[in-house]
Amino acid sequence: MSNEAASVVRLSLSRAFAAISAAEEELGRIDAAAGDGDHGSAMVRGFRAATAAADTAGTAGQVLVQAGTAFADAAAGASGALIGMLLTTIGQSLPDDQIDAIAMHRALAAGLKAVQRLGKAQPGDKTMVDTLDPFIRAYGEAAASGATLVAAWRSALPAAEQGAQSTAEMISRRGRSSRLGERSRGHLDPGAVSMLYVLRAVGEALLE
Protein backbone atom coordinates (compact mmCIF):
# COMPACT_ATOMS: atom_id res chain seq x y z
CA MET A 1 0.00 0.00 0.00
CA SER A 2 2.66 2.51 1.00
CA ASN A 3 4.69 1.48 -2.05
CA GLU A 4 1.72 2.26 -4.24
CA ALA A 5 1.30 5.65 -2.58
CA ALA A 6 5.01 6.37 -3.09
CA SER A 7 4.59 5.60 -6.80
CA VAL A 8 1.70 8.06 -7.00
CA VAL A 9 3.91 10.71 -5.36
CA ARG A 10 6.72 10.07 -7.88
CA LEU A 11 4.26 10.27 -10.77
CA SER A 12 2.76 13.48 -9.37
CA LEU A 13 6.18 15.11 -9.10
CA SER A 14 7.11 14.15 -12.64
CA ARG A 15 3.75 15.42 -13.98
CA ALA A 16 4.33 18.68 -12.09
CA PHE A 17 7.84 18.91 -13.54
CA ALA A 18 6.44 18.46 -17.06
CA ALA A 19 3.70 21.05 -16.56
CA ILE A 20 6.10 23.61 -15.06
CA SER A 21 8.64 22.99 -17.84
CA ALA A 22 5.94 23.65 -20.44
CA ALA A 23 5.02 26.89 -18.62
CA GLU A 24 8.59 28.05 -17.91
CA GLU A 25 8.52 31.02 -20.27
CA GLU A 26 5.02 32.08 -19.29
CA LEU A 27 5.95 32.03 -15.58
CA GLY A 28 9.10 34.01 -16.28
CA ARG A 29 7.08 36.62 -18.13
CA ILE A 30 4.54 36.91 -15.31
CA ASP A 31 7.36 37.30 -12.77
CA ALA A 32 9.06 39.93 -14.95
CA ALA A 33 5.97 42.19 -14.65
CA ALA A 34 6.50 42.85 -10.93
CA GLY A 35 9.48 40.71 -9.89
CA ASP A 36 12.78 39.64 -11.44
CA GLY A 37 11.61 37.20 -14.11
CA ASP A 38 13.23 34.07 -12.69
CA HIS A 39 10.18 32.23 -11.42
CA GLY A 40 9.89 29.86 -14.40
CA SER A 41 13.53 28.85 -14.33
CA ALA A 42 13.55 28.53 -10.53
CA MET A 43 10.52 26.24 -10.57
CA VAL A 44 11.99 24.10 -13.36
CA ARG A 45 15.24 23.71 -11.40
CA GLY A 46 13.30 22.84 -8.27
CA PHE A 47 11.09 20.21 -9.87
CA ARG A 48 13.97 18.68 -11.84
CA ALA A 49 15.86 18.16 -8.59
CA ALA A 50 12.74 17.04 -6.71
CA THR A 51 11.91 14.46 -9.37
CA ALA A 52 15.46 13.09 -9.30
CA ALA A 53 15.46 12.92 -5.49
CA ALA A 54 12.09 11.15 -5.51
CA ASP A 55 13.65 8.25 -7.39
CA THR A 56 14.38 6.50 -4.11
CA ALA A 57 12.86 3.72 -2.03
CA GLY A 58 10.55 4.61 0.84
CA THR A 59 7.04 5.56 1.82
CA ALA A 60 5.14 8.38 0.14
CA GLY A 61 6.04 10.62 3.06
CA GLN A 62 9.74 9.80 2.87
CA VAL A 63 9.78 10.42 -0.88
CA LEU A 64 8.17 13.84 -0.38
CA VAL A 65 10.64 14.80 2.33
CA GLN A 66 13.55 13.94 -0.01
CA ALA A 67 11.89 15.82 -2.86
CA GLY A 68 11.20 18.91 -0.76
CA THR A 69 14.75 19.09 0.51
CA ALA A 70 16.12 18.80 -3.02
CA PHE A 71 13.63 21.40 -4.27
CA ALA A 72 14.72 23.99 -1.71
CA ASP A 73 18.43 23.40 -2.43
CA ALA A 74 18.04 23.60 -6.19
CA ALA A 75 15.46 26.34 -6.67
CA ALA A 76 16.79 28.89 -4.17
CA GLY A 77 14.85 32.17 -4.01
CA ALA A 78 11.64 32.72 -2.09
CA SER A 79 9.60 30.13 -3.93
CA GLY A 80 12.33 27.48 -3.54
CA ALA A 81 12.37 27.71 0.23
CA LEU A 82 8.57 27.91 0.47
CA ILE A 83 7.71 25.05 -1.88
CA GLY A 84 10.53 22.96 -0.42
CA MET A 85 8.97 23.54 3.00
CA LEU A 86 5.50 22.69 1.63
CA LEU A 87 6.61 19.35 0.15
CA THR A 88 8.72 18.40 3.16
CA THR A 89 5.98 19.21 5.66
CA ILE A 90 3.32 17.32 3.70
CA GLY A 91 5.73 14.37 3.63
CA GLN A 92 6.36 14.52 7.37
CA SER A 93 2.63 14.76 8.06
CA LEU A 94 1.44 11.81 5.96
CA PRO A 95 0.84 8.50 7.75
CA ASP A 96 2.99 5.51 6.76
CA ASP A 97 -0.03 3.32 6.12
CA GLN A 98 -3.45 4.09 4.60
CA ILE A 99 -3.37 7.60 3.08
CA ASP A 100 -7.05 8.48 2.76
CA ALA A 101 -8.70 11.79 1.86
CA ILE A 102 -8.81 13.01 5.46
CA ALA A 103 -5.17 12.12 6.16
CA MET A 104 -4.17 14.02 3.02
CA HIS A 105 -6.18 17.02 4.19
CA ARG A 106 -4.31 17.06 7.50
CA ALA A 107 -1.00 16.92 5.64
CA LEU A 108 -1.97 19.68 3.20
CA ALA A 109 -3.15 21.91 6.05
CA ALA A 110 0.11 21.32 7.93
CA GLY A 111 2.04 22.17 4.77
CA LEU A 112 0.19 25.44 4.27
CA LYS A 113 0.68 26.34 7.92
CA ALA A 114 4.43 25.79 7.58
CA VAL A 115 4.55 27.93 4.43
CA GLN A 116 2.73 30.72 6.27
CA ARG A 117 4.97 30.40 9.32
CA LEU A 118 8.03 30.74 7.10
CA GLY A 119 6.78 33.42 4.70
CA LYS A 120 4.25 35.27 6.89
CA ALA A 121 1.81 35.61 3.98
CA GLN A 122 -1.92 35.78 4.65
CA PRO A 123 -4.62 35.22 2.02
CA GLY A 124 -4.89 38.45 0.05
CA ASP A 125 -1.17 39.23 0.13
CA LYS A 126 -0.78 38.14 -3.54
CA THR A 127 1.26 34.96 -3.17
CA MET A 128 1.01 31.20 -3.73
CA VAL A 129 -1.07 31.16 -0.51
CA ASP A 130 -3.94 32.66 -2.52
CA THR A 131 -4.07 29.46 -4.57
CA LEU A 132 -3.25 27.00 -1.79
CA ASP A 133 -5.62 28.28 0.87
CA PRO A 134 -8.89 28.11 -1.14
CA PHE A 135 -7.79 24.80 -2.67
CA ILE A 136 -7.17 23.19 0.71
CA ARG A 137 -10.44 24.57 2.10
CA ALA A 138 -12.45 23.16 -0.83
CA TYR A 139 -10.51 19.90 -0.66
CA GLY A 140 -11.21 19.63 3.09
CA GLU A 141 -14.94 20.22 2.63
CA ALA A 142 -15.14 17.52 -0.04
CA ALA A 143 -13.10 15.09 2.06
CA ALA A 144 -15.25 15.75 5.14
CA SER A 145 -18.38 14.94 3.17
CA GLY A 146 -16.97 11.56 2.18
CA ALA A 147 -15.24 12.16 -1.17
CA THR A 148 -12.24 9.98 -2.03
CA LEU A 149 -8.83 11.62 -2.20
CA VAL A 150 -8.94 11.72 -6.00
CA ALA A 151 -12.49 13.10 -6.16
CA ALA A 152 -11.79 15.70 -3.45
CA TRP A 153 -8.61 16.83 -5.20
CA ARG A 154 -10.34 17.24 -8.54
CA SER A 155 -13.37 18.98 -7.07
CA ALA A 156 -11.11 21.56 -5.40
CA LEU A 157 -9.28 22.61 -8.59
CA PRO A 158 -11.81 25.31 -9.57
CA ALA A 159 -11.24 26.97 -6.17
CA ALA A 160 -7.49 26.96 -6.85
CA GLU A 161 -8.08 28.52 -10.25
CA GLN A 162 -10.29 31.27 -8.82
CA GLY A 163 -7.71 31.90 -6.12
CA ALA A 164 -4.89 32.25 -8.64
CA GLN A 165 -7.01 34.55 -10.82
CA SER A 166 -7.91 36.70 -7.82
CA THR A 167 -4.26 37.71 -7.35
CA ALA A 168 -4.49 39.97 -10.43
CA GLU A 169 -6.47 42.52 -8.45
CA MET A 170 -4.32 42.32 -5.32
CA ILE A 171 -1.49 44.55 -4.16
CA SER A 172 1.61 42.52 -3.29
CA ARG A 173 2.52 42.54 0.39
CA ARG A 174 5.15 39.77 0.39
CA GLY A 175 8.29 38.97 -1.54
CA ARG A 176 10.10 40.91 -4.18
CA SER A 177 6.99 42.31 -5.91
CA SER A 178 5.83 44.01 -2.67
CA ARG A 179 8.32 46.79 -3.43
CA LEU A 180 6.07 47.85 -6.31
CA GLY A 181 3.14 48.49 -3.99
CA GLU A 182 0.11 49.76 -5.90
CA ARG A 183 1.86 49.13 -9.23
CA SER A 184 1.79 45.38 -8.59
CA ARG A 185 -1.98 45.49 -9.16
CA GLY A 186 -3.18 44.29 -12.56
CA HIS A 187 -0.68 41.42 -12.81
CA LEU A 188 -1.15 37.82 -11.73
CA ASP A 189 1.18 36.55 -9.03
CA PRO A 190 3.64 34.09 -10.62
CA GLY A 191 3.77 31.82 -7.58
CA ALA A 192 -0.02 31.63 -7.43
CA VAL A 193 -0.12 30.61 -11.11
CA SER A 194 2.65 28.00 -10.83
CA MET A 195 0.93 26.53 -7.75
CA LEU A 196 -2.27 26.17 -9.78
CA TYR A 197 -0.34 24.31 -12.50
CA VAL A 198 1.21 22.00 -9.90
CA LEU A 199 -2.15 21.21 -8.30
CA ARG A 200 -3.67 20.50 -11.72
CA ALA A 201 -0.75 18.25 -12.68
CA VAL A 202 -1.18 16.26 -9.46
CA GLY A 203 -4.89 16.00 -10.27
CA GLU A 204 -3.96 14.44 -13.62
CA ALA A 205 -1.47 12.06 -12.02
CA LEU A 206 -4.10 10.90 -9.51
CA LEU A 207 -6.38 9.84 -12.37
CA GLU A 208 -3.74 7.53 -13.86
Smallest CA-to-CA distance from 75 within 16, 130, 12, 124 is with 16
192 near ligand ADP, rule: CB under 6 A: yes
Question: Whose Cβ is closer to ligand ADP: residue 78's or residue 138's?
Answer: 78
78 binds ligand ADP (CB under 6 A): yes
Residue 203 contacts ligand ADP per CB under 6 A: no
Q: Residues 148 to 177: which contact ligand ADP by CB under 6 A?
A: 174-176
CA angle 164, 165, 167 (to 5 degrees): 75
Cβ distance to ligand ADP smaller for residue 107 or 192: 192
Does residue 134 bind ligand ADP (CB under 6 A)? no
Which CB atom, from 35 or from 111, has the smaller least distance to Mg ion? 35
Output the smallest distance, CB 172 to ligand ADP, in A: 8
Task: Please report how close the Cβ of residue 104 comes to ligand ADP at its closest, in angstroms.
Answer: 21
Task: Quickly count: other Cβ atoms within 10 Å of residue 147's Cβ.
Answer: 17
Least distance from C-beta 190 to ligand ADP, angstroms? 4
Binding footprint of Mg ion on the chain (CB under 5 A): 31, 35-36, 38-39
Instruction: Count CB atoms within 10 A of the CB of residue 85.
Output: 21
Other CB atoms within 10 A of residue 120 CB:
12
User: Which residue type is seen at 203?
Assistant: G
- Tell me the residue number closest to ligand ADP, measured at CB: 191
Each residue 20-39 as x (binds ligand ADP by CB under 6 A) or -, in order, gives: -----------x---xx-xx
Q: Are 44 and 77 in contact (CB under 8 A)?
A: no
Query: Hey, which residues between 88 and 127 contact ligand ADP (CB under 6 A)?
Result: 119-121, 127
Residues 57-80 as b/e (b if ≥16 CB within 10 A, e otherwise) read ebbbbbbbbbbbbbbbbbbebbbb
Give the residue with the Cβ less far from ligand ADP, 6 or 78: 78
3-state secondary structure of 109: helix
109, 95, 90, 100: which is closest to 13 by C-alpha? 90
N-terminal to C-terminal alpha carbon distance within the chain: 16
Q: What does the binding site for ligand ADP look like in residue numbers (CB under 6 A)?
A: 31, 35-36, 38-39, 42, 77-79, 82, 119-121, 127-129, 174-176, 189-192
